[in-house]
Chains A and B, each alone.
Chain A
Amino acid sequence: MGSSSSSMTNIPDAQQLIQETGFSAAHILRLYERFEFLDKDKRGELRQETVDFASFVRILAHFRPTDTSRTRDGAQQEPANSSTGKLKSAFQLYDQDRDGKISRAELLQVLRAMMGIQVTEEQLHSIAERAIQEADLDRDDAISFDEFRQSLEKVNVDHKMSIRFLK
């Protein structure tokens, strides 16, 4: 995939992406090559969900391994690949309607997608119930981001949500 024709100039908004996501230039290049590879129709976007390259990179930025040694120089926002960033991206996988909470229906949807073929609706409901009960601290029958974060506080999210090669 190492086509010599792609260079940084071909990639739109390269500099801005580097700034935003913390990837190095080489990485962006590599991701662009991969993007091109996936984007077989040369439509500039992937699949039907119109992920353009910038979004592609931004999403992937979440999965970069955390730089533990980097000092925070008072950046305005959390870098995308910090623990919080990773948690946020995981949270968004649940929270489709972006209301900041995982409702029971959303949780059920994810559970169904993950295990739907193996378990009955009954079990899914039970599990979703239990999950909400365990995490839901303010009793609003939904899991907010803070509750989500708290339920995962003992898990090494950095480890689980990192792809080594993106470093």
Chain B
Amino acid sequence: MDLSVTRRKGCLIIIFIFLSLLYGSRGEIPPKPTSGVTIMPPIKPDNPQAYPDSSKANLPVFTMDYPRIQIPFEITLWMLLASFAKIGFHVYHKITIWVPESCLLISIGLIVGGIMHSVHEEPPAVLTSNVFFLYMLPPIVLDSGYFMPTRPFFENVGTVFWFAVVGTLWNSIGIGMSLFAICQIEAFGVQDINLQENLLFATIISAVDPVAVLSVFEDVSVNEQLYIVVFGECLFNDAVTVVLYNMFNFVAEMPVVEPVDVFLGVARFFVVGLGGMGFGILFGFVASFTTRFTSKVREIEPLFIFMYSYLAYLVAELFAISSIMAIVTCALTMKYYVEENVSQRSCTTIRHVVKMLGSISETLIFFFLGVVTITTEHEWNWGYILFTLLFAFVWRGLGVLVLTQIINPFRTIPFNLKDQFGLAYGGLRGAISFALAFTLPDNIGRKQLFVTATIAIILFTVFLQGISIRPLIEFINVRRTNRNLDTINVEIHCRLMEHTIAGIEDLCGQWSHFYWKDKFMKFNNRILRRILIRDNRAESSIVALYKKLELQNAMEILDTVSGDISAAPSIVSLYEEKKSSAKPKKKFLTSDLKNMHDILSKNMYKIRQRTVAFTSKHALPNDRHTKEILIRRHTSVRRSLRPGSFQTTVVPKSHKYFSLPAGKSLDSKFPPARLSYTDDDETMSELAYPSRRSRFGQPARSSSRAMMPLRRLDTLTEAPSVDKLDENTGREKGRAGSGTPRTNSSSSDSRVPAPRRHFHSSVDNDSGSADNVRNGQHEAVEEEPQPPSPAWAAEPRDNAAQNPLLRRPRWNPKM
């Protein structure tokens, strides 16, 4: 079976990697190469490895110099190993549903650690403070910050900060105090731990890191509020934790704590938090401003994003303020403006690389957690550790309960008990605690105990809570969210409601977040966007959503046509489903058809030659050529589409119809090209698409725009036997009921034979109001898919690699 073969291969690869690692991991990997590794060319005779040490040596044919490459080699191998583990999990996909990935990674790490321990190898010193905090943590935080859903975040920002700050404080102090109380009991033998050290330890273990929980929440689609609060709390409580940690660290070394120190601690917290945010916003704006000028250097655009966020992180570290807040705020600020400035490709690259780096960092961290668990020396103390576990649970639960009670009156959607349970139970500990434990200064007497306790808590929470949270969430039936809110209606109505609420609040003299949001948007549009965005055309979210939906429909249509058409993304707003329900039959002149075919095949075929023969070293593939074709085609289509437009013509500025990821809108202004209908014959012969005609033959419901062309078309004589493709398909759909959202209707088109649809879709590529006339017929009419009429089904569907357009002529004889 494939599965078992892959698994066996995976195992073999893993074992191979182990062996090579074992050979290579002799000794620790120091963060910097120490004197033991000489970086010298291998020809030197004192290289111990490959060569007999005779004074006169012949030319070495084959040498090996491992120490030279040791560090990068081992890093790469560890990364590969962790990634193979990830591949391995997904071989049997059921595992990842029930066991979160972090558990699996830790398990693999444990196994590897066991192997290394048994051969007395040392693991690489990945968990030194510098390596972790400077190299492994930033990608994860950048990933979280960049993909944080901003709208729910800002709606819940108060709650998020409330839980992050006050919740962490509550946890730390609560756990610290109770542990100190426990320490007084002689039976456990931990009396030497004083209050400060307890508080320090408590701070370490109150840093939640619900990575596993978040993925479960996403899978289960819990309601947005719960998700964003857990997410936000996880991100921002790091700031608090780090502050408290440093504070208690400092304090732990002091013999006496004075009230002024507490006050200074509070002040420091504000400096750290707000300073971090300030730096983040500053760097975010600088990054946005820089990308305004990068239109000529598209290849390195993604670099700016990464460099600026990393710089924000490092500068914050320089001043010992919260680097995590800095990088998160930087990403939040940057994202909005940068995604409007950079090219589509860069945008995709950025997202992809951010995700990749975050993923690999996280994988490595959990992996090393497992490895280090085995290989460090532990000091186990039953009483202390068990009580730590107990208190961690208890205080988290209590904390969530109390804090929710206090904040619920301020929320429009209060948290119910189930949400609170999800919040409390989702408090897993993870990487931050791990790293902080390892960076405890050595002058703390019981450092080993703390490390052991931390690891115990992490393992316990990740395994137990991580595995059980999914069934529990489903069992108690936490409020779910509905993800499919992407209809234009929803967007319009929601926007209206927001405006209304903002107005009413103004009337009532009460300001809540709608008001501030409104104010900020105004400020944004007036000032910020002008400065930071290159072509500042303020685009309403309604328009953006409209474009996105149209594009989605277009792509869906093309996707189902034939898989090899790479020009699919280049055609926007294909509305083959927008066929009128009751169009009178129109016939075509065969010459018209031929012209249509020629033009289409010419243009379409050119567009398919998108891949360049070679890529020059310094530039990305030049797709200006295809853009020109698109523009040409677009305008020529438009010319025929806009007969007798009632508006003045507006020439489209720039058409960039690349393939867009789902969330992105077209970055060119919605092209409202309307060229006046100059010459009947010319346009008719050039692009007398059937869809146009079908559109023209609409019942009275259509707007007056269509009236003129209708009149003109009536004069055309048409070949009797050509059925209009879209008419029939439209009629099919017309037969169907009404009112499905557009996306459904386009999926129903898959029943229609491919070439026809393609013909249509290639034709209907404008996104202007002319379509709306068609829309009027199509959208309202469609419902469940109907089987294609038998006449069509007979045609062989070969959606092989041929250009479907070139197949078109075969269709004709059927008439």
Contact = CB atoms under 8 A, between A and B. Distances in A.
Interface of A: 1, 31, 34, 37-38, 60, 63, 65, 90, 93-94, 107, 110-111, 114-115, 118-123, 125-139, 141, 148, 151-152, 154-157, 159-166
Contact of B775 (A31, A111, A129): A129
Given A123-B670, A130-B549, A156-B413, A136 B542 contact: no
A136 to B, nearest CB: 5
Nearest to B783: A137
Contacts of B741: 134
Contact of B489 (A93, A120, A123, A135): A135
B412 interface: yes
Interface string B479-514: 000101101111011111111110011011110100
B775 A133 contact: yes
Given A1-B509, A110-B496, 4 more contacts: A129-B769, A132-B776, A133-B779, A141-B776
Contact of B482 (A34, A136, A141, A154): A154
A63 B485 contact: no
B172 interface: no
Nearest to A46: B507
Contact of B410 (A129, A159, A163, A164): A164
B639 interface: no
Contacts of B767: 126
6 contacts: A115-B540, A122-B672, A129-B772, A133-B775, A133-B779, A164-B410
A126 B769 contact: yes
B650 interface: yes
A63 B501 contact: yes
B771 interface: yes
A152 B490 CA distance: 6
A79 B542 CA distance: 31
A163 B504 contact: yes
A130 B499 contact: no
Contacts of A114: 492, 495-496, 499, 540, 542
A126 B496 contact: no
B493 A130 contact: no
B488 A130 contact: yes
B656 to A, nearest CB: 17
B265 interface: no
Greatest chain A CB density within 10 A among B413, B489, B769 is at: B489
Contacts of B546: 123, 126-127, 130
A108 to B, nearest CB: 11
B510 A127 contact: no
B780 interface: yes
A114 B495 CA distance: 8
Given A34-B509, A130-B546, A160 B492 contact: no
B543 interface: yes
Given A34-B508, A65-B412, A163-B508, A131 B492 contact: yes
A90 B512 CA distance: 20
A94 B674 CA distance: 29
Nearest to A152: B493
Contacts of A115: 540, 542-543
B768 interface: yes
A121 B647 CA distance: 9
A90 B779 CA distance: 24
A65 B96 CA distance: 41
Contacts of B772: 125-126, 128-130
Given A90-B497, A129-B776, A63 B504 contact: yes
B416 to A, nearest CB: 10
A93 B500 contact: yes
A141 B701 contact: yes
B538 interface: yes
A60 B742 contact: no
Nearest to B645: A122
Contacts of A155: 485, 490, 493-494
A154 B490 CA distance: 9
A160 B497 contact: yes
B781 A139 contact: yes
A114 B781 CA distance: 29
Given A119-B540, A161-B501, A163-B510, A137 B484 contact: no
A161 B738 contact: no
Given A130-B546, A163-B512, A122 B769 contact: yes
A58 B734 CA distance: 44
Contacts of A162: 412, 501
B739 interface: yes
B775 A120 contact: no
Given A127-B542, A131-B489, A93 B484 contact: no
Nearest to A133: B779
Nearest to B525: A118
A115 to B, nearest CB: 4
A164 B489 CA distance: 25
Contact of B738 (A38, A138, A156, A159): A138
A60 B494 CA distance: 18
A137 B647 contact: no
A134 B487 contact: yes
B507 A136 contact: no
Contacts of A157: 497
B539 interface: yes
Nearest to B482: A154
Contacts of B775: 129-130, 133
B487 A119 contact: no
B300 to A, nearest CB: 32
A37 B509 contact: yes
Interface string B148-166: 0000000000000000000
A163 B484 CA distance: 25
B718 to A, nearest CB: 28
A65 B412 CA distance: 8
A119 B495 CA distance: 15
A151 B769 contact: no
B672 A165 contact: no
B508 A151 contact: no
A90 B768 contact: no
Nearest to A155: B490
A107 B741 CA distance: 18
Contacts of B647: 120-122
A131 B772 CA distance: 10
A118 B674 contact: no
Given A130-B488, A161-B497, A119 B512 contact: no
Nearest to A136: B780
Contacts of B776: 129, 132-133, 141
Interface in B757-782: 767-769, 771-773, 775-776, 778-781
Contacts of B780: 132-133, 136-137, 139, 141
Contact of B507 (A38, A65, A130, A138): A38
B500 A90 contact: yes
Contacts of A122: 647, 650, 670, 672, 674, 768-769
Contacts of B410: 164
- The 7 tightest CB contacts between A and B, nearest first, are A133-B779, A129-B772, A137-B739, A122-B672, A151-B489, A115-B540, A154-B482
A159 B413 contact: yes
A136 B739 contact: yes
Interface string B669-695: 010101000000000000000000000
Nearest to B498: A160
Nearest to B772: A129
A56 to B, nearest CB: 8
Contact of B501 (A135, A138, A160): A160
Contacts of B540: 114-115, 118-119
B40 to A, nearest CB: 65
B490 A127 contact: no
B240 to A, nearest CB: 27
A111 B504 CA distance: 19
Given A120-B672, A137-B739, A60 B496 contact: no
B501 A163 contact: yes
Interface in B382-418: 410, 412-413
